[in-house]
């Protein structure tokens, strides 16, 4: 899977590059974090796309053709995310999950996720600087 997450390296993989790489028999899919337009552009050209944006994943799946999501939120509520992505259009569930998604991403990943997992007792509250737990 090719990951296009411009917020991490500070660079976007241009659509022309994905289009070229997608011709390779070794190319399987792309995780796309630019947004719905890019998801739709790729899916309309036969490229298998997984959303990389938790806050957009429902619409990317049901309105723009994404296959699924590579998700941070699914680490906390896997059953709900599975339902959101594979149980049919569900704007109500999507709306209910948005406050959690917003909280998880109020600081760069993985701060929110690690804070939540520590609060649940799943992991020890160990953070390496400069990361610190959310209040």
**Which candidate, 77, 21, 23, 72, places its Cα nearest to that of 51?**
72
89 is catalytic: no
**Which candidate, 65, 62, 17, places its Cα nearest to that of 40?**
65
Which residue among the candidates 3, 42, 82, 96 is catalytic per the annotation?
Answer: 3
Q: Angle at Cα 50 formed by Cα 24 and Cα 104, nearest 5°?
A: 140
* Percentage helix, strand, coil for the chain under 3-state DSSP, each rounded to 5: 45, 10, 50
Please give the Cα distance from 51 to 44 (Å, whole number). Answer: 15
Which residue among the candidates 23, 31, 82, 96 is catalytic per the annotation?
Answer: 31
64 is catalytic: no
Active site residues: 3, 31
């Amino acid at each position: 899977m090719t990951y296009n997450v411009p917020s991490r390296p500070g660079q976007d993989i241009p659509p022309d590059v994905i289009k070229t790489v997608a011709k390779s028999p070794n190319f399987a899919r792309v995780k796309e974090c630019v947004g719905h337009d890019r998801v739709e552009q790729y899916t309309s050209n036969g490229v298998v796309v997984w959303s990389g944006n938790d806050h957009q994943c429902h619409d990317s799946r049901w309105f723009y053709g994404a296959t699924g999501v590579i998700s941070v939120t699914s680490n906390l509520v896997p059953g709900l995310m599975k339902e959101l992505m594979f149980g049919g259009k569900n704007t109500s569930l999507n709306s209910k999950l948005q406050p959690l998604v917003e909280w998880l991403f109020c600081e760069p990943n993985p701060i929110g996720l690690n804070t939540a997992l520590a609060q649940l007792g799943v992991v020890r509250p160990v953070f390496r600087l400069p990361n610190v737990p959310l209040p």
